[in-house]
Amino acid sequence: MEHIIIEGGNTRLQGEVVIEGAKNAVLPLLAATILAKDGQTILRNVPILSDVFTMNNVIRGLDIDVVFDENNKEITVDASNYILDKAPYEYVSQMRASIVVLGPILARCGHATVSMPGGCSIGSRPIDLHLKGLEAMGAKITQSGGDIIAKASKLQGANIYLDFPSVGATQNLMMAATLAEGKTVIENAAREPEIVDLALLLNKMGAIVKGAGTETLTIQGVNRLHGADHDVVQDRIEAGTFMVAAAMTNGDVLIKDAIWEHNRPLISKLREMGVEVTDEARGIRVKADTASLKPVTVKTLPHPGFPTDMQAQFTALMAVVDGESTMIETVFENRFQHLEEMRRMGLHSEILRETAMIHGGQGLQGATVMSTDLRASAALILSGLVAKGQTKVGKLTHLDRGYYQFNEKLVGLGATIKRVKGDA
């Protein structure tokens, strides 16, 4: 066990920070490599994260060759030989995102067995939309001994309307449809940049996917897919986390090569608060006079709305801005647990169902707190930067799922923060 210790209160983040490839892009991209019967797939700009190791193991469990060259941040996958059709429980159970292997395995093998994802701290996260979509494509789905078993000797193109633009369901169905007979249309599809990145790779592999980034995806099935070479898109949530960190700390930070379009909903709220955000040739600069910022109301929504994955970090910013801010979380029903931990740091807030009222600007004090999920861990560390005195943040396994060298990057910007062995 390790924890992070932050000496906070006087931190002013300044300088430049480099952002990794996106965790939420690389996981489905790895799932897509299962589809390639010919050649190797090379993914570049891969973030070195525990979730990536887990997904590599899920894929290795199918008897697929996966080599992670960490020095060059590259993964090479060779799925050209016979593959198994059962994703091992040992790894699938560690990460809900593993469910995106269901569509590709089924499309390639005509049969797939994948463990049913278990509980999750941020919400109930059912997978009904994934399964309904596959059924619409002709799959017979049953559940036995904790496994989902899907069968379809050949998936059939279908018209699928998603009740909610689920990221994972869109990815699973898009991948399954690449090898289906005929055309699949997915309406009310998710529009996240990670969907666009997946479509880019699939098309390089020989698939015919159109409309990625819009609410209607059209996939014309093909007989066979091959390997390809692909750079993983930048992590907009890591970039956003550093933008918020700069805004909270009176900072002046250049987030190198950050993609304006992908962060537009966050940038719009930062600007509404009074944060200076500029699009420079080398990235996005975020500058703030924190004391002059104004409270705002934010509602999380599927892309291009405000991302739920920035909600926790943004509430940490709201906590240092004078006045009443409101955060409405509409995507996950239990994603305010960081606020309970921040209460230990002196945060004044009230939560009523999906709405949190943050009474900001009353000062935070250092305390020992525990990460409750990935984004909560980032929010607690950012809070520690501005809290007076020492903050210890524990349960870093959450942080390691999605942030590479988070404390080192913050040190590079001037924070006094270290990672040490032992419980917090």
Output 105 or 331, the one with its CB closest to ligand EPU: 331
d(CA 150, CA 325): 46
| Binding of residue 402 to ligand EPU (CB under 6 A) | yes
Residue 358 has phi, psi (to 5 degrees) of: -110, 120
Selecting among 1, 67, 120, 420, the annotated active-site residue is: 120
User: CB-wise, 126 or 146, nearer to ligand EPU?
Assistant: 126
Long-range CB contact pairs, 277-284, < 8 A, 24+ = 277/243, 280/254, 282/16, 282/254, 282/256, 282/257, 283/16, 283/254, 283/255, 283/256, 283/257, 283/258, 284/239, 284/243, 284/254, 284/255, 284/258, 284/260
Closest CA to 393 of 383, 401, 385, 381: 381
Whole-angstrom distance, CA of residue 155 vs CA of residue 153: 7
CB of 302 to ligand EPU, least distance (A): 7
Of 308, 325, 371, 407, the one binding ligand EPU (CB under 6 A) is 308
120 in active site: yes
CA angle at 317 for the pair 315 and 318, rounded to the nearest 5°? 60
Interface map 86-125 toward ligand EPU (x if CB under 6 A): -----------x-------------------------xxx
Binding site residue list for UDP-N-acetyl-alpha-D-glucosamine: 96, 125-129, 309, 331
CB nearer to ligand EPU: pick between 103 and 168: 168
Query: Rg of the chain over CA atoms, in angstroms?
Result: 22
Residue closer to ligand EPU (CB basis): 317 or 374: 374
* Least Cβ distance, residue 76 to ligand EPU (angstroms): 22
> In a 10 Å sphere around its CB, with 0-12 CB exposed, 13-18 middle and 19+ buried, how is residue 238 labelled?
buried
Options 36, 55, 64, 169; binder of ligand EPU; rule CB under 6 A: 169
Residues numbered 324 to 363 that lie near ligand EPU (CB under 6 A) are 331-332
Q: How far is Cα 51 from Cα 117, in angstroms, rounded to an integer?
A: 15
Q: Dig out the tokens for 45 from the structure.
A: 């700009």
Whether the bond between 193 and the residue before it is cis, its omega within 30 degrees of 0, is: no
Beta carbon nearer to ligand EPU, 18 or 301? 301
**Nearest residue to ligand EPU, using CB?**
168
- Residue 229 CA to residue 115 CA, distance in Å, equals 30
Binding residues with ligand EPU: total (CB under 6 A):
23
Smallest distance, ligand EPU to C-beta of residue 96, A: 6
Stretch that binds ligand EPU, among 62-70, 81-89, 167-175, 249-257 (CB under 6 A): 167-175
Work out whether 309 is an interface residue with ligand EPU (CB under 6 A): yes
Residue 166 interacts with ligand EPU (CB under 6 A): yes or no: yes
How many H helices and E strands in the chain?
Answer: 14, 26
- Confirm if 423 and 37 have CB atoms less than 8 A apart: no
164 binds ligand EPU (CB under 6 A): yes
List, in order, residues 6 or more apart from 352 with CB less than 8 Å away. none
Hey, which residues does 358 pair with through a beta bridge?
A: 325, 349
> What span, in angstroms and rounded, lies between the C-alpha atoms of 11 and 22?
27
Q: Would you count residue 27 as binding ligand EPU (CB under 6 A)?
A: yes
Which CB atom, from 128 or from 350, has the smaller least distance to ligand EPU? 128
Q: What is the DSSP string of 90-128?
A: HHHTT-GGGGGGHHHHHHHHSEEEEEPP---TT-----H
Pairing of strands 355-360, 348-352: antiparallel
Q: What are phi and psi of 34, to 5 degrees?
A: -60, -30
168 in contact with ligand EPU (CB under 6 A): yes
Span interacting with ligand EPU, options 166-174, 344-352, 388-396, 414-422, rule CB under 6 A: 166-174
Interface with ligand EPU (CB under 6 A), residue from 73, 108, 230, 375: 375
CB of 334 to ligand EPU, least distance (A): 10
Residues flagged as binding site: 23-24, 96, 125-129, 309, 331
CB of residue 363 to ligand EPU, shortest distance in Å: 28
Nearest approach in angstroms of CB 71 to ligand EPU is 25
62 scored as a contact of ligand EPU (CB under 6 A): no
> Does residue 129 belong to the site contacting ligand EPU (CB under 6 A)?
yes
Contact between 167 and ligand EPU by CB under 6 A: the answer reads: yes
Applying CB under 6 A, which of residues 130, 230, 392, 398 lies at the interface with ligand EPU?
Answer: 130
Residue 68's H or E segment, with its range, is strand 65-69
Q: Which residues bind ligand EPU (CB under 6 A)?
A: 24, 27, 97, 123-130, 164, 166-169, 308-309, 331-332, 374-375, 402
Active site residues: 120
